[in-house]
Structure 1
Amino acid sequence: MFDWKSIVRPNGKPFCALTAGLAVFLTFVFLLEQAVSLEDRMKLSPNHIFNLARLSNYPLVHLSWLHLFFNLFSLMGPLNLFESQHGTVYTGVVLNLTAIFAGLLYCVVGKLLYPDESVAGASGWFFTFVGYFSWKASLATPRTQLLQTPYHFPTALSPLILLLLITLFVPSASFWGHLSGLTIGYAIGSNEKAFGKLSPPSWLIKKVENKLDIYIQKIPPFVKYYREVEVEDTDRTDYSWLFEPHVSLPLHNDPPQQTHGSGRVLGTA
């Protein structure tokens, strides 16, 4: 069902630097929280719609070891794959922007439906990347087989099954937080070119990386830093996806072609 090898070690290369670093940082933040209360300062509620710090940082705080473990376990695979295809710096920008956009969406809807609830945790990112990859995969494979059954369902909607299962079996999980992240993932997947205009231009990323080359070279060899120059010509048509290990996709969004705490937990998937 899962092509873990190509997800964890894309192209047979080491784990991505930002993905590995994020796992370490999230663990550090959780340990710090045991000494200094961060939850009340970082979790996001609809009343914080204009608080940029909370909009950016709510994915960093977790409410328990179990919450942290499941979020890391689920996020590392899709984030690692995305970083290997898009570059380390660009992926960092995407993490920040998607947190803000999903947070804004959560707050806007929450003003009407759940004004007193709050969310925290990195699983919103997980749903963003799963939504992104499932949308891309749907361009080549509109319908996907459900495990080994004779049943098929729309590929792009497959994350909704996961969303409903988590909501059913993990009552403390934030349905609306997950749905907000998933919606942003769909939006990026359906118009990645427009979203890319919000990030620094490629030439600027290259210039910064050239300036910081001496520090980049000091990154341990057991992780891989993906420079902009390495990924600008990367073939992003071959996706390792949740249900289809090898899905060939068009580079652009063309029509499908016949080719081969007191807060709510933002997920524990």
Structure 2
Amino acid sequence: MMRSPQLQALKDRYGALPYITTVVVGIMGLLYCFSLLSSSVTKVLALNPSAVLHGGIHRLITYPLVHQDFFHVFFNVFALVPVLSSFEEETGTVATVGCLYFFSVIPGVVYVLTSLLFSSNVVTLGASGWVFSLMAYFALKDYAVRQTIYLNQSIQIPTWSTPVLTLLLIALLLPGSSFWGHLYGLLVGYAYGLGYIPVARLPAQLVYKVESTLSQYNLTRALPRFVSDESASKHRVVIDTTVDAGVPSGGTSPVLAPVGGVGRSAFNGQGRPLGV
């Protein structure tokens, strides 16, 4: 029986995920199953601004991993896998862990501060913030190569703006979604891509040290589909920064600065509501 190209593409994308992508999806699935047994799982891990201010700092890290219901986790996984797996393949497994940490903490802190400023305590949860951060990153990368895309024969938009359109579309179609959570994730992704959050990119020496330690115990081979920094460098895009792509950049920009290797673009998927 012949398989359609679409089914084969889905199998190729979701069937052999890199290590951290697999771990993240597995944790999200497990936590959803646990939440069916006890709703306290979600309550303890979701981003509750008031709880964070009273010692629940862990929520700044855990809120992307818990979800409201089956459809929430399903669509978040469907949207996250393409962008996160592509990001891990070109960034490396160890460095991706650091990026996900900051892609969670920075928007979470801003969300809590905003809630404090406006005397609000709306709980938010879900991986859509990660989705928007990664969408922004890849949109910037695509923009450095192709500045515009055509919506039809007469309308064109800057490539970097495609995640913004997704944000507005979701806000329009799903007014109960966490617009601010999505927006903060989007802004962090743009800031990272332009090199304004260098702390989110782990130093090469640290990545090398961690990988060397794992290699000593043969864990880099034991961990399924572990992406080393050396392997990831083969997937990174080479951008000639002497050509003006219209995007402000500096020498530290992970999107626009030349990093070696041959890359590929992966701007796929759209987010689900980050919160309720």
**TM bin (shorter chain):** 0.7 to 0.9
The structure richer in strand per residue is 1
Off by >4 Å, runs of 4+ in structure 1: 3-10, 251-254
Aligned partner of 2:245 in structure 1 is 256
CA contact (8 A) 2:89 2:235 kept: no
Partner residue of 1:261? none
Task: Report whether the alignment pairs 1:218 with 2:222.
Answer: yes
From 56, 59, 66, the equivalent of 1:61 is: 66
Q: Distance in 2 between matches of 1:143 and 1:79?
A: 24
Alignment match, 1:144: 149
Q: CA deviation at 1:210?
A: 2.5
- The structure-2 alpha-carbon separation of the partners of 1:198 and 1:22, relative to structure 1 and needing over 3 Å to count, comes to closer
CA shift digits 1:186-242 (9 cap, x unpaired): 101111xx534444422332232232221232234xxx21112322x43522xxxxx
Partners of 1:198 and 1:98 in 2: CA distance: 8
Compare relative contact order (CA 8 Å, sep 6+) and give the higher one, 1 or 2.
1
Could you list the per-position Cα deviations for residues 29-58 of structure 1 after superposition, in whole angstroms to 9, with x for gaps in the alignment? 111122232222122133325742011111
Are positions 1:43 and 2:46 aligned together? yes
- Separation in structure 2 between the aligned mates of residue 8 and residue 21 of structure 1, nearest angstrom: 18
Contact 1:206/1:227 (<8 A) preserved: no
2:121 counterpart (116, 138, 142) = 116
- 2:169 matched to 1:177? no
Q: Are 2:237 and 1:229 aligned? A: no
The answer to whether structure 1 residue 155 and structure 2 residue 162 are counterparts is no
Alignment length (residue pairs) = 240
Q: Does 1:266 align with 2:268?
A: no
> 5+ residue gaps in structure 1?
238-248, 258-263
Aligned partner of residue 153 in structure 1, secondary structure: strand
In the alignment, which residue of structure 2 is the partner of 1:245?
A: none
Q: Output the CA distance in 1 between the equivalents of 2:138 and 2:10.
A: 12
1:170 is displaced (CA, Å) by 1.8
CA–CA distance in structure 1, aligned partners of residues 18 and 36 of structure 2: 28
Q: Which amino acid aligns with 2:226?
A: Y
Q: Deviations over 1:52-109 (max 9, x none)?
A: 2011111111110000000000000000110000000100111111100011122222
Compared with structure 1, are the counterparts of its residues 72 and 198 closer, same or farther at alpha carbon in structure 2 (3 Å cutoff)? closer
RMSD: 2.9
**Same amino acid, percent of matched pairs:** 29
C-alpha distance 189-198 of structure 1, shift in aligned 2 (>3 A) = closer
CA distance in 2, matches of 1:40, 1:253: 50
Structure 1 residue identity aligned to 2:129? G
**Alpha-carbon distance in 2 for matches of 1:136, 1:105:** 25
Matched, 1:52 2:57: yes
Q: TM-score, length-normalised on structure 1? A: 0.79
TM-superposed CA distance for 1:114, in Å, is 6.4
Normalised TM-score (structure 2) = 0.77
In the TM superposition, what is the alpha-carbon distance from 1:136 to its structure 2 partner? Answer: 2.0
